[in-house]
Chain A
Amino acid sequence: MTEDSLPRIVGFLCKWCSYAGADLAGVSRLKMPASLVPIRVMCSSRVNPLFVLKAFLSGADGILVTGCHPGDCHYQDGNYYTRRRFALTQKIFKELGLEADRIRLSWISASEGKRFVDVVTEFTENLKTMGKNSIKAEIFL
């Protein structure tokens, strides 16, 4: 498979859990598709809906937001904020005629290297069946 045929996923990974989880996947030498462009954020709640929209308009085929499991947030309740924001963002996404399945929220802890690989693999497969993001033609920002 060539690089081009892989979907492009922009991933916002929280520093405390998911990014460490991704690291663990790396040091454990687990294999996963090279579709993810990881961006480390201090907390998943740092991800403004605008980041998601911007990544999407800039041509990302999928957006993955990951954080600590509910109850495990390094900042007590950041991931709860994320969850609410995400629910509303998905709603707006649908209303604006975008495919809500192109954005995904997952909880991945620092010890779940395997889960990180599974999430990325599964999301990549889903995006493959959905095809390329068709609205990246015009960027207004």
Chain B
Amino acid sequence: MAKPLVAFYWCASCGGCEEAVVDLAEDILKVVDAVDIRLWPVAMDFKYKDIEAMPDNALAVSFINGAIRTEEQEHIAKLLRQKSQLVVAFGACAHLGGIPGLANVANKKEIFETAYKLTHTTANPKGVYPKTVTEIPQGKLTLPDFYDTVKSLDQTIDVDYYLPGCAPPPDLIMKAFTAILEGKLPEKGAVLTVDKALCETCERNKSKPDKLVIKEVKRISEVIADPEKCFLAEGIICLGPATRGGCGERCINANMPCRGCFGPTKEVKDMGAKFLSSLASIIDIDDEKEIEKVAKSVIDPIGLFYMYSLPSSILRRKQGVV
């Protein structure tokens, strides 16, 4: 029997998700044995035209990581959707928009200004910016268009399953592979992990006092966190209560608080608003002026509450700049 055909693709991502596939270690041999990889730009030499030449639904599954930021990414995502029976949004950026999605606090113009002009290491006296078409004597050069707004994968194409995480842990990847190969898949649209908050499985939850109250918000860089104690009890913001579990608490075990890469649980529409709500409940200050102070001490609230989920929040982006 012919092996199922598989594609991997990266959009606006850092490459960590590709690394996660390689992180399967020996298990990757089982994967390679069981499937026939037909596209994997980071590791293998296939051409887009090979995919274009395939009949529709020829690929059993496409794993797409990264958010959608450019015209090319959108094009390939749509192409893979057409050629695949299943599309899995692989990793936080495809799932929620991820770190690249934080660029939604700016627009194309501002990003180009910063990247190609304002940074100290950039010398660009002529003000040259990337253009979609550039005429040169030898002909036309083209670049894909750069969008104002970063989107998650499911805001661009229909997505069947989500593998959460930045990057997804190898055990979840392997479980997903096995489930797909054996055809034991949950209902469409499922996030392939548990549907409980991280605190549910967090070891440190045991150390949490009955009534969790904090007087001030501390940044992880300012204190040495007690490796046994609940971060929130120490005043360090940890997104555990609002984040889906199943990640194996890799950050917590490294004494770093959760930043929410697994996204919210199923019923939550807007992770940042949800967490904000829970945080406000544990700040034990009644004086109006003091509250202002605490609100001020939360530096970069968007980067904190929406670190991975700004494009999938209900506002999706900063308003009034595009």
Contact = CB atoms under 8 A, between A and B. Distances in A.
B286 interface: yes
Grouping DSSP codes into helix (H, G, I), strand (E, B) and loop, the B interface class, with mixed when no group exceeds half, is helix
A27 to B, nearest CB: 32
Interface string A88-118: 1111100111100000000000000000000
Q: Most chain-B CB neighbours within 10 Å: which of A70, A90, A97?
A: A97
A77 B286 contact: yes
Given A49-B273, A85-B276, A92 B301 contact: yes
Interface stretch (B46-54, B252-260, B290-298): B290-298
Interface string B262-292: 0000000110111011011101011010011
A92 B285 CA distance: 19
B314 A49 contact: no
A141 interface: yes
B218 interface: no
Nearest to B303: A95
Contact of A97 (B274, B280, B286, B318): B318
A98 B314 contact: no
A83 interface: yes
For the residues of A in contact with B, the DSSP-based class is helix
Contacts of A95: 105, 301-302, 318
A100 to B, nearest CB: 12
Interface residues of A, number: 27
Give the residue among A92, A97, A98 with the most B Cβ atoms within 10 A. A92
Contact of A91 (B270, B273, B288, B301): B301
A70 B288 CA distance: 10
Interface stretch (A6-14, A29-37, A50-58, A61-69): A50-58
B295 A96 contact: no
A92 B298 CA distance: 10
A88 B288 contact: no
A39 interface: no
A98 B273 CA distance: 15
A45 to B, nearest CB: 8
B319 to A, nearest CB: 4
B273 A87 contact: no
Contact of A87 (B295, B315, B318, B321): B295
A70 B286 contact: yes
B305 interface: yes
Given A81-B280, A91-B301, A50 B321 contact: no
A2 B318 CA distance: 33
Interface string B211-225: 000000000000000
A130 B283 CA distance: 33
A87 B292 contact: yes
B295 A140 contact: no
B280 A88 contact: yes
Contact of B315 (A53, A83, A88, A91): A53
B286 A88 contact: no
A52 to B, nearest CB: 8
A70 B289 CA distance: 14
A97 B305 contact: no
B277 to A, nearest CB: 5
Contacts of B276: 49, 85, 88-89, 92
B116 to A, nearest CB: 24
Contacts of B291: 83-84, 87
A106 to B, nearest CB: 13
B320 interface: yes
A53 B269 CA distance: 11
Nearest to A51: B273
Interface of B: 105, 269-270, 272-274, 276-277, 279-281, 283, 285-286, 288, 291-292, 294-295, 298, 301-302, 305, 314-316, 318-321
Q: What are the 4 closest A-B residue pairs judged by CB atoms, nearest first?
A: A85-B280, A97-B319, A84-B280, A49-B273
11 contacts: A50-B269, A50-B273, A50-B314, A53-B273, A84-B281, A84-B291, A88-B301, A97-B320, A97-B321, A135-B319, A141-B269
